[in-house]
Structures are given as C-alpha cells and as structure tokens.
C-alpha cells in the first residue's frame, strides 16, 4: 500500500521509488494490482515523458491479463510517441501484452510494421522482436509481415551488414551484432514454409554467411543464427551446403561451446542434407575422442545418425579402435551405440559376429543383456557359421576371459557346438584350423564356473554347458560330474538345485540324457527382434495386472500362480545373494510383492527375508528367527498344479538351457529324476460344512469367507473370499494380499476382477487354499491388506482375521 501511495504522488522521485517497489515486491498474481491500474493509466497519459517511461517499465514487468486488456490502447498509442526511448519501452510492453492476451495481437500489427522503418537501433531492435512475437501468436500477423515487410527487412539487414564503422554500435569490429541476430531470426520465421519469402532472403543470407568474420564470438553468434535460418527456410541446396560447411569450421574451433552448438545443429541438418554432413565425418569422429564429456556424447549421437549401409564398416572400425583407449565412464555409451550400429546395418552375419566379438573382447562388461542375447540368436540362425563362431569364441576366451558377457556367449556356444570345436567342422578359408580336445573344451567351462568374478548367470550357464558336454564327450563325463557336484553345497539355491539335478541326470538317467541335452532348435530371429522392439512380446499372465516375459518368444500356457512363483526358469528372476540369504525371495522367483499383482501368495519362511520380502514381515508383524534351510526336496515338494518339474531345469536369464523336445517317456523318467514328486491332486469341492464369517468390515468394504474341506484331507481348507463395496464410488485396481504364519501354507488364485462396483451392485470373488500343518493344535490366523484406487488416489486397508471357525 505504501508503494501505491508513492505511485499516486505527483512528483517524479516518489513515483520512481513507488514503481520500483511495485516491480520488486509484487507480481501479476497479487490482487492489490487491481488498485494500481488507474494510476498506470493516468501516468501513461502524463505530459512528462519520463513518468510515461516509468509506467511502461512497470507495466512491462508485472502486467496481468486484466491490466493488459485495460491498458492496451494507451500502449498502442505510445508506439507512435515522438520520443524514441518511449517508443522502445512501449514496444517491449506490447510484447508482454500480446503474450498475456494473444487476442490483442491484431491491434499491434500496423504499429509494429511501422517500427521496422526506424533508423534508431534501439527502437528498431525492439520493433523486430515485437514483430517476431506477433508472428508466433497470430497467423494473420505472420501473413501480413510476409507480404509487406520481407523486402524491407532484407534491405535493413543489408544496410546493417554493409554499414561503415559506427562506434556507438560496434562490437569486435561488427556493427550491432544484436540487431543482426534479431533481423536474421525474424527472417527465419517469415521464410519458414514460404518459398517466395525464402527466395527474397537467399542473397542477403549468403552475404552474411560469407562476409561475417568467425574469429570473434560476436561473428560466430551471427553465423550460427544465419546457419539456423538457412536450415529452416525453404529448400536452397547451395545455401545449405554453405551453412553445413560453416558448422564444419565450428567443429575445428577451440571453444567447446562453439563445437557443441555445431554438433547440435548438424544433428538437425542431417535430416535435410545428409550428404553434406557426411563430408565432415572425419572431423565429427575426432569429436568423439574429445576430452569434454558432453561433446563426446553429442558427437557419438551424431555419428550414429551418420551410419548407413555404405559406410557402416569404416565407421564401426573407427569406433571399435577408439573403444580400446576410451575412458571407462564413456565405454558404456560407446559400447551401446556400437552394438546398435552393428545390429542395424550389418551387411552379413559373419561380419556381425566378428564385430560383436571384438566389442565383447574389448568391453564385454559394458555390453547390455539384449546385445549378447541377440548375438546368440544370430549364431543360432547361421547354421553354416556354427563351427566358425565357436572357434572364434574359444580363441577370444583365451585372451579376454575377464569380460563377463564374452564368457557367457563362449560357454553357451561350447555347450551347443563343442563337438564342432574339436572336429574343426565348417572350417572357412579365412581361418586356420586349431587343435582342441574335449578336455580343453571342458577346461574353458570349468574356468568360467570357478572364476571368483563370475556371477550367477555365468555359473548357471556353465553348469548347463557341462551337462551338454557330458553327452557330447562321453570320455569326459566323469570329470564333468566331479565339477558339477562341487556346487551341491552352494549357498546359492539356483546353483545347488542345478548341481543336484544335473548330477542325477548323469548318474541315473543315461537313457534320456541325449534327448534332454540335444542341440537347441533354431531361435526365431524375427520373434526376438519383435520382442526387443516391444512390438510382439511373449507374455504369460500371472494375475490380472502382472506378467512375466518368456525366453525366446516361446509361449507357455498359464499355470497356477504358485507354480509361477516357484518357477525359477523365468527370465525375470534376479540373482539370489551368494550369502545364502533371501530364501523367500528364492522361492518367490523374484516376483515383486508391491501392489500391482492382483493376488499375492505368501507362505512362511525359514529365515528373515530381505528386499522385496519386507512386506511379509510388515503383514505378519512378527520377527522370524533364523533356522535351518529347507532341503531342495522340501522346496520341490511344495509344487502344485500340472506343471512338469522339468521346468526347474530351465535357463537362467532369457536363454533356454535345455532342449524341451524330450519324449513323453523321457518326461516320465524326468519325474523319476525328481524323486517322484508328482503334482498334488486337485481337492474335491465337497466336504464338511462350516459357517461363513465376515472376515473384515469397514465403512466402505466388507469381506466374507466361505469354507469347504475335502474328505480325507483335514489339513487343507478351501476359502471363497467375496469382496463387496459398501460405498457409492467405484473402486479400481483392486488388490487383495494375505500372509500367514510358518505353520500354514497359503495359495491364492487370481481374483475374478480388479474393479469393484459401487453400492454392492456386484462383487469380486477370489479362491484361497490354506494347509494347516498343526491341524488340531493351532487355529487358522491371517493378516490381510487390501489396496484399491478411488478418484486416482491409492487407498490401503489392513486387518487381522482371528475368528475362523474351529476345526479348520
């Protein structure tokens, strides 16, 4: 209010302080500004031009939409004021007004066009900026300026370019570079999409591009704007080549900023004239090796855009050579781009394999999973290159065994094509034969499995390769078995399970081994590419809102949720901790317990879980003491549903490990391998009758449980949960989660829906199965959590059920 009092004063000093306070202390959102509108109107009409300037300055800084509508006529009139400083301030104020109220733009078209004829540079530069902003908010203004002002602007720019030395405007020997840049920007707006306007400005743009000196920053700024204008207006091949050559000169500049903006502009230019950009390929490649990280990354992106079928080989060669000496922090980005280039533009499969092996040998630890998966798919499809590939990988392993992904691909190929390795099958003219024995091949895999740096994926793939080699090289079978059984006591459940099962295959099941470990069928390259692109992912649903990727595009019929939870062959399973912890995480196969699954089956665990299983402790509200780990037999005996246990021999990561083309007799034998643990038979629906209970009730939700038992199996109880919405609002993304103590086993089927109608007009049902190992001694108890969305808000309700009927 003190500012308003000062503004209302008649004296200039008071007004100046008042307007200064107004601009610093308030903004357009303050309601008190409504009180100052009348004072502003009076000052805009004041006889003193300095007071008019104060009002224009304040209006240009804090003008709101309402003030703009009220005071636009005064600002429009002041654009023709006698004093140039006032006209300049009025133009700046008009820019703010049309941004706040675009509908007022048409009122300023003619006054703005008149400003373009000004001789005073201060007024001219603001007039040019006003015209530029008018073109952006008003198509009518754009068309008006194109037809009536383009020629005048070209003349003005020519006068500025050719003007003699003027000390008041000179910067580094260039007359008013700021006006240069504003004029070129306005010409860009006018020429974009209009061939006639573009023709008018071609000559002056060529003159600016050739006459402007590039040894000063002011000159480089003008050249950059000129290049951007040339690339934006309608087609003129000669001018564009000139512009791209200017950018090429920028790339040789010592200033990092200039090189960076040149790379940015070349990325835009490549879509317009790729041939002209290709001529600067060598300079761009040098920028990839620059010491500045941002320039390296931008240059690498530009090189990626430059690659085509004709230059892929020399460019890839250059990038791989640089990969050998590049900084560690840059290897990840560089490797990803090289792998993408090889996959996208590879002219032939042998070249693809050779280049990928070079990348794996130099920076295998930086190669992403999908890249080495793709290499295996390509090798699998190139039947005439199987021998060449396995020999090349064998040689690469000798020199680069520290590269994890190289080891994985080598182990996979040796397991599949080990016989070709020792027999020199498919020898090409370009390679020399090598002498490798079956024992040498086993040495490679043994080294991979015993390296302390090998992770779970590598060790698991190595075990599978050993099992396959035991069939390929019968003479090494005993040695292979000795290596396999060394992992029987592994603290990592995955390795322990594989070791025990594979040892059983070698010892007891010679009759099915050859069928079980025969070569993988050719992996479908098209399906794999589709999965990578996200166009045809192979999915299997485990609930209404969660799904798991399946390896190699192989469709698998939906299985019972508990079976999926216990399935360790999914490619979504994370590596369990080598310390032996996270036992529940092993059992659950890495399935996320956070809301997002429509149902979650959580059983008791023998030791404190970690990470994703923290929710279990939260649900049970108890501390679980450490205890002895369950044996593999206990784990396997908990499998339910009709899924064959052969799934537990599945592939780690997303590559299938064993051929699944075993005969039905072989499948039966495999059941024998797992000590005859057949799937549990389904429970009949009839049995003793128990009264239903209201398990949970709040003001918005009711849950009822109906119970049934199968005759002859008193420990197992089937529960039908019915969820009813008591409110007037529809609940979406409905999720029910439950947890039970260790002496109970719980399994949840998928819910009938994830949308719960309002006012009890319908319900959601879900089947639960509980097995009570302490039947007759302890009653059922359960904690539950219900999550749903209402008006895009996540709602969470929890409760404990203690009122189960006796005898369950």
What's the start-to-end Cα distance of the chain, in Å? 77
CA distance 780 to 802: 7
Mean pLDDT of 134-154: 92
Band the pLDDT of 406: cuts 50, 70, 90: very high
What does the pLDDT average to over 535-558? 36
Nearest by Cα to 552 from 380, 714, 422 = 380
Distance CA 656, CA 159 (A): 73
Strand pairing partners for 737? 600, 785
Q: Is residue 64's pLDDT more than 70?
A: yes
Longest dimension (CA), the chain: 110
Q: What is the pLDDT of residues 419-453, one digit of tens each?
A: 999 888 888 888 888 888 989 999 999 999 988 88
With a CB cutoff of 8 Å and minimum separation 6, the contacts of 110 are none
Neighbours of 591 (CB within 10 A): 24
Instruction: With beta carbons less than 8 A apart as the criterion, state whether 547 and 563 touch.
Output: no
Residue 680 has a pLDDT of: 45
pLDDT for 167 equals 83
99: Cβ contacts below 8 Å, ≥ 6 apart: 133, 137
Q: What is the pLDDT averaged over residues 569-587?
A: 39
Residue 246: what are its φ and ψ, rounded to 5°? -65, -45
Specify the pLDDT at position 388.
93
pLDDT at 780 over 80: yes
Evaluate whether 287 touches 251 at the Cβ level (below 8 Å). yes
Looking at the chain, the number of H-run helices and the number of E-run strands are: 35, 13
User: Taking each helix axis from N to C terminus, what angle separates 456-472 and 477-485, rounded to the nearest 10 degrees?
Assistant: 160
* Residue 771 β-bridge partners: 716, 745
- Cα angle at 494 between 491 and 498, to 5 degrees? 110
712 versus 663: the higher-pLDDT residue is: 712
Residue 186's SS3 state is helix
More confident site: 63 or 30? 63
CA gyration radius, the chain: 38
Alpha carbon of 497 to those of 217, 293, 636: distances in Å? Answer: 68, 46, 10
| 498-512 average pLDDT score | 89
At residue 31, the pLDDT reads 77
Report the side by side order of strands in the sheet with 689-697.
689-697, 701-708, 716-725, 763-772, 744-748
- Residue 732 clears pLDDT 70, i.e. is over it: yes
Given this model, what pLDDT does residue 99 score?
Answer: 93
* Residue 340 in tokens: 């993408």
Q: Which two tokens stand for residue 799?
A: 């409760």
Does residue 534 carry a pLDDT above 90? no
The pLDDT value given to residue 582:
41
**Residue 648 predicted with pLDDT over 50:** no
pLDDT in tens, 312-370: 999 999 999 999 888 888 889 999 999 999 999 999 999 999 999 999 999 989 999 99
| Strand pairing report for 170-171 and 174-175 | antiparallel
Q: What percent of the chain has pLDDT over 90?
A: 43
Q: Among all chains, which residue has been given the structure tokens 């199987």?
A: 386
Q: Closest by alpha carbon to 729, among 795, 785, 784?
A: 795
Separation of alpha carbons 603 and 691, rounded Å: 25
Residue 767: pLDDT over 90:
yes
Gap between the Cα atoms of 423 and 420, Å rounded: 5
The per-residue pLDDT for range 677-691, each reduced to its tens digit, is 444 444 444 556 789
Cα–Cα dist 774/784, whole Å? 21
Nearest to 675 by CA among 633, 714, 730: 633
Tens digits of residue pLDDT in 255-307: 999 999 999 999 988 888 888 899 999 999 999 988 899 999 999 999 999 99
**If pLDDT is split at 50, 70 and 90, which confidence band does 719 have?**
very high
* Higher pLDDT among residues 386 and 522, named by residue: 386
Residue 496 near residue 459, CB atoms below 8 Å: no
* Stretch 688-699: mean pLDDT: 86
Query: Which of 21-35, 215-229, 585-599, 703-717 shows the lowest mean pLDDT across its residues?
Result: 585-599
* DSSP helix/strand/coil, 113: helix
- CA atoms 409, 410, 413, 415: torsion sign: negative
Rounded Cα distance between 112 and 124, Å, is 10
* pLDDT at 622 (0 to 100): 36
Residue range 616-620: mean pLDDT, rounded: 40
Identify the weakest region by mean pLDDT among 22-36, 109-123, 769-783: 22-36
Task: Give the helix/strand (H/E) hosting 767.
Answer: strand 763-772
pLDDT greater at residue 122 or residue 566 = 122
Q: Are strands 599-600 and 732-739 parallel, antiparallel or unpaired?
A: parallel
Mean pLDDT of 55-74: 91
The reported pLDDT for the residue numbered 628 is: 39
Mean pLDDT of the 745-750 span: 90
- Per-residue model confidence (pLDDT) at position 262: 93
Report H helices in 233-365: 237-251, 256-269, 274-278, 281-288, 293-306, 312-325, 328-345, 349-363
Strand pairing partners for 697? Answer: 702
- Is-contact 422 391, C-beta < 8 A? no
Q: Is the pLDDT of residue 733 over 80?
A: yes
Structure confidence at residue 664 as a pLDDT band (50, 70, 90): very low
pLDDT of residue 570: 39
pLDDT at residue 642 above 90?
no
Q: What is the mean pLDDT of residues 159-183?
A: 88
The yes-or-no verdict on residue 132 having pLDDT over 90 is yes
C-alpha 101/C-alpha 345 separation (Å) is 51
Q: Is 746 helix (H, G, I), strand (E, B) or coil?
A: strand
pLDDT of residue 561: 40
């Amino acid at each position: 209010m003190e500012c308003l009092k000062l503004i209302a004063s008649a004296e200039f000093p008071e007004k100046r302080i008042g307007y200064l306070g107004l601009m610093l202390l308030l903004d357009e959102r303050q309601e008190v500004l409504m009180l100052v509108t009348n004072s502003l109107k009076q000052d805009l009409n004041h006889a003193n031009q300095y007071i008019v300037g104060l009002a224009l300055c304040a209006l240009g800084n804090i003008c709101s939409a309402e003030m703009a509508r009220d005071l636009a006529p005064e600002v429009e009139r002041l654009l023709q004021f006698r004093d140039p400083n006032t006209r300049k301030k009025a133009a700046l104020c008009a820019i703010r007004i049309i941004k706040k109220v675009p509908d007022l733009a048409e009122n300023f078209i003619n006054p703005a066009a008149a400003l373009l004829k000004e001789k005073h540079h201060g007024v001219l530069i603001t007039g040019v900026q006003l015209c530029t902003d008018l073109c952006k908010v008003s198509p009518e203004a754009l068309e008006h300026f194109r037809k009536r002002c383009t020629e005048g602007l070209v003349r003005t720019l020519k006068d500025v370019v050719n003007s003699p030395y003027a000390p008041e405007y000179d910067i580094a020997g260039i007359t008013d570079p700021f006006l240069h840049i504003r004029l070129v920007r306005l010409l860009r707006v006018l020429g974009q999409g209009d061939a006639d306007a573009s023709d008018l400005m071609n000559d002056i743009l060529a003159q600016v591009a050739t006459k402007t000196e590039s040894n000063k920053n002011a000159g480089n700024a003008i050249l950059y704007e000129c290049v951007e204008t040339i690339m934006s207006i309608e087609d003129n091949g000669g001018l564009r080549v000139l512009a791209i050559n200017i950018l090429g000169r920028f790339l040789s500049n010592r200033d990092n900023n200039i090189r960076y903006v040149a790379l940015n502009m070349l990325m835009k230019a490549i879509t317009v004239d790729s041939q002209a950009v290709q001529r600067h390929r060598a300079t761009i490649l040098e920028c990839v090796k620059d010491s500045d990280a941002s320039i390296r990354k931008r240059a690498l992106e530009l090189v990626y855009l430059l690659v085509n079928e004709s230059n892929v080989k020399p460019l890839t060669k250059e990038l791989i050579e640089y990969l050998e000496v590049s900084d560690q922090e840059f290897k990840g980005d560089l490797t990803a781009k090289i792998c993408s280039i090889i996959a996208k533009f590879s002219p032939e499969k042998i070249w693809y394999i050779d280049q990928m092996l070079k990348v794996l040998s130099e920076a295998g630890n930086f190669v992403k999973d999908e890249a080495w998966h793709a290499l295996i798919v390509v090798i699998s499809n190139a039947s005439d290159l199987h021998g060449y590939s396995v020999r090349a990988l064998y040689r690469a392993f000798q020199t680069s065994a520290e590269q994890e992904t190289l080891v994985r691909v080598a182990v996979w190929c040796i397991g599949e094509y080990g016989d070709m390795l020792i027999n020199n099958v498919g020898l090409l003219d370009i390679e020399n034969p090598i002498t490798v024995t079956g024992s040498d091949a086993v040495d490679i895999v043994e080294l991979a499995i015993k390296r302390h740096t090998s992770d779970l994926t590598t060790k698991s793939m190595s075990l599978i390769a050993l099992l396959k080699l035991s069939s390929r090289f019968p003479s090494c079978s005993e040695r292979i078995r000795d290596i396999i059984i060394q992992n029987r006591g592994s603290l990592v459940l995955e390795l322990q399970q594989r070791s025990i099962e594979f040892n059983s295959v070698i010892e007891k099941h010679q009759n099915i081994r050859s069928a079980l470990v025969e070569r993988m069928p050719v992996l479908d390259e098209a399906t794999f590419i589709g999965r990578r692109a996200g166009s045809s992912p192979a999915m299997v649903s485990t609930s209404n809102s969660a799904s798991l990727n399946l390896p190699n595009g192989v469709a698998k019929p939906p299985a019972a949720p508990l079976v999926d939870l216990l399935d360790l062959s999914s490619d979504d399973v994370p590596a369990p901790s080598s310390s032996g912890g996270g036992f529940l995480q092993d059992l659950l196969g890495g399935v996320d317990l956070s809301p997002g699954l429509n149902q979650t089956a959580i059983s008791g665990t023998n030791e404190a879980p970690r990470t994703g299983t923290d929710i279990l402790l939260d649900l049970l509200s108890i501390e679980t003491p450490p205890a002895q780990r369950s044996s593999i037999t206990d784990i396997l005996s908990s499998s339910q549903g009709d899924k064959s246990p052969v799934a537990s021999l599945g592939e780690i990561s997303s590559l299938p490990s064993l051929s699944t083309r075993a005969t039905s007799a072989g499948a039966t034998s495999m059941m024998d391998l797992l000590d005859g643990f057949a799937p549990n038979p389904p429970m009949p629906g009839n049995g003793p009758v128990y009264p239903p209970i209201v398990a949970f009730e709040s003001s918005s939700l009711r849950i009822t449980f109906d119970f049934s038992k199968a005759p002859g199996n008193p420990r197992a109880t089937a529960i039908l949960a019915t969820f009813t919405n008591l409110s007037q609002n529809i609940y979406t993304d409905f999720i029910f989660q439950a947890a039970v103590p260790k002496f109970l086993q719980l399994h949840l089927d998928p819910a009938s829906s994830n949308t719960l109608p309002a006012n009890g007009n319908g319900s959601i049902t879900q089947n639960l199965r509980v097995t009570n190992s302490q039947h007759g001694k302890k009653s059922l108890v359960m904690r539950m959590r219900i999550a749903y969305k209402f008006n895009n808000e996540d709602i969470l309700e929890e409760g404990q059920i203690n009122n189960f009927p006796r005898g369950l």
